[in-house]
Structure 1
C-alpha cells in the first residue's frame, strides 16, 4: 500500500512539474516580446521604418515588438544574428536590398546564405530614388541627359555613396541600359556629394527621395525622373525613368524574415499582421514622409521578388566589375 501510494504521489508530482512546460507550448503566439533585428544604426531610414512598422504590427499581433539595432558590415552582422536565432518566432529581421540582394554578390563570404538560412515572411516597403542633375545641366529630361552623355563620352561623371552601394549600382544599371559612358566618383555618403552636384562639379546623382527632393523644391537641383517603374505617389510630378528606358527600376526594398524552420502558422500570423500594418492609413502617412511606399505580399511572392532582384544586381556587379573595395 505504501509503495503504491508513493508511486501515485510521484506520478502526480511529475505531471505537475510538466504542466508549466506544456502550458507554455500551448500558449498563443506571441506570449512574450518579439525582437525585431534592424541590421543598421538607429536613426537611419531602415530603423525609422522598423519603429513605424513595429508599433502597428504589435497591435495586430497582440504583443510587443522590440527593436534591436545590430549594425555593421553592410547589414551582415545583424542578419547573421537573426539567421542563427531559434526558429520560434521571437526573433525577426527587417532586411533590405543591401542585406539580401546586393550583399551576397558583393561579398560571397557572408556567414549566412540568404535563401537557405531564412524564412521569408513579407515584403513591406520600397524606397525609390530620383535622378538629380545640377541646375546648369543642359538636360531637362532623361532623354536629353542620355543624348548629352552620348555626345560627350567619358566627359561626364556621377557621384555615389561608395563602391558597391545601391547608389552606384543604380547608376551602373542606368549606364548599361542607356548605353552611355560616365565616370564614377565615390563619396562617403550622398550628403557629401550634394554640394559638388549643386556647384556643377558632379553631373549626376541617384539619391533617396526624402534627402534629394528638398534640394529640388528649394530650386538648388533639378530632378529628371524617379527609379520606380511608374510615377511615385511620393513625388508625382516626376516621370518614371522607365518611360525612356523600359523596365528600368531600382528600389531599396524592405522585408521581414525569420530564421529557417519558422513554423508555418507563425509565418502566416506575422505575414497577416505585417500586411495589415502597411495598409493602415497612419502607417502609410508616416512612411510617405520617409520616402517609402508601402508594399505587402505573401511569403512566396516576397521570396520570388528577392530572387529576381538579387539576380538583376548580381548581373550588374559581374558585368560592370563592381566591388566594395
Structure 2
C-alpha cells in the first residue's frame, strides 16, 4: 500500500469516526433557547394578560424565557397562520381561543389553515368568561330592560365586538330575543371598550379580564355573563338564564398549540408545565383576579375538545344567522 493510500484510509477512518461521534452525541435538551409565544390579540386583551402570566410561570418551570409576540387581526387568523407555518420544533407556540380554532372557519370564507390538521394541541389553559356590558348612560339596568328598549327603538342600539365570542354572542342575543342591533366590529377588545366608554357604541360582550375593571370603576354597567350558569369568578352578575334568555350558553376557551408535527416528548414537557401552572393555588388565584378560570388536562383531552368546539361553534354561528365574510 502506498503512502497516499495509507493516508486515504486514515482520512476515511477519521471521517467515519467523526460521523459516529456526531450520531452518538445527545441532542440538545429542549428547550436550549428562548421560546416565542404568539398571541392573536392586542396587548391589553384578556388572552394577552393571561398569556403573559402563563409565559412567566411556564418559563420558570422549563428553564427558558417565553417571549410574548402579539400578532392581532383578522379574527386571530393572522397569528394562527403564522404559527401553522412555523417549524414544529417547540420554539414557536400559540396561546389562543375559540376565535381562531372554533369560530373563524365559519365566520370567514377563506381561512388559510386547517384548525385541526395544521396544529399540535398541547393543553387547555382554561376559560375566559364573557360579560354583557353597556354604557351606564343608557336607560336600562337589566337584559330585559335592554330587550324592551331595543324593541321600542329598532336598529337604534349598536354592539361592538373585538373577537369571535363578541360577534357570536351579540348576534345570538339579537336572534334569541328578536331585536335589531347594528354590529360594529373592532380589531381588538381594548379599542372597542374605549369607544363603548366614550359612547360611540352602546354595548358589547367582553371578556372579564378586559371589562371588569371598568365595571368596578363605574365606567360600564354589567348586565349578565354570557353563560347559562353564573360564573364562580363573578357570582354576583346574573347568568343569561337568570336574565331571562334561556338556552344562551356561550363561553370562550383558551388553550396552547404548536405547529403540526411537534415531537411527542416536547408536547409532554409543555403539557406538564401548563398543568403545573394551573394547579398552583397562587397562580390560579392571580389568574382568577384577572377574570380567568384556569384549568387544564391531558393533550388527548384537549385534542378531542378542539374538535367538539369546532362543531359546536359552527352550529352557534349558523343558528345566529351570521353569514361568512
TM tier, smaller: 0.7 to 0.9
Cα RMSD of the aligned pairs, angstroms, is 3.2
The answer (yes or no) to whether the contact 2:127–2:292 under 8 Å persists in 1 is yes
Q: Which moved more, 1:105-114 or 1:206-215?
A: 206-215
Q: Say whether residues 1:129 and 2:127 are aligned partners.
A: no
The answer (yes or no) to whether the contact 2:46–2:210 under 8 Å persists in 1 is no
CA deviation string 1:186-225 (max 9, x = no partner) = 164232123338xxx83x4323324433443344543232
Total equivalences in the alignment? 317
1:235 corresponding residue in structure 2: 234
The CA deviation at 1:247 is 4.9
Q: 1:191 pairs with 194, 197, 202, which one?
A: 194
2:189 corresponding residue in structure 1: none
2:172 corresponding residue in structure 1: 173
- TM-score, normalisation: structure 1: 0.82
CA gap 1:110/1:149 in 2 versus in 1, 3 angstroms: same
Secondary structure of the residue aligned to 2:199 is helix
The answer (yes or no) to whether the contact 2:165–2:205 under 8 Å persists in 1 is no
- TM-score, normalisation: structure 2: 0.82
Between the aligned partners of 1:187 and 1:305, the Cα distance in structure 2 is 28
CA gap 1:21/1:94 in 2 versus in 1, 3 angstroms: farther
1:250 corresponding residue in structure 2: 250
Q: Which moved more, 1:32-41 or 1:148-157?
A: 148-157
Which structure 1 residue ranges, 5 or more long, are not aligned? none
2:89 corresponding residue in structure 1: 88
CA gap 1:109/1:51 in 2 versus in 1, 3 angstroms: same
The answer (yes or no) to whether the contact 1:38–1:78 under 8 Å persists in 2 is yes
2:106 corresponding residue in structure 1: 105
1:287 corresponding residue in structure 2: 287
1:56 corresponding residue in structure 2: 57
Secondary structure of the residue aligned to 1:93 is strand
Between the aligned partners of 1:226 and 1:287, the Cα distance in structure 2 is 18
Secondary structure of the residue aligned to 1:73 is coil
Q: Say whether residues 1:263 and 2:258 are aligned partners.
A: no
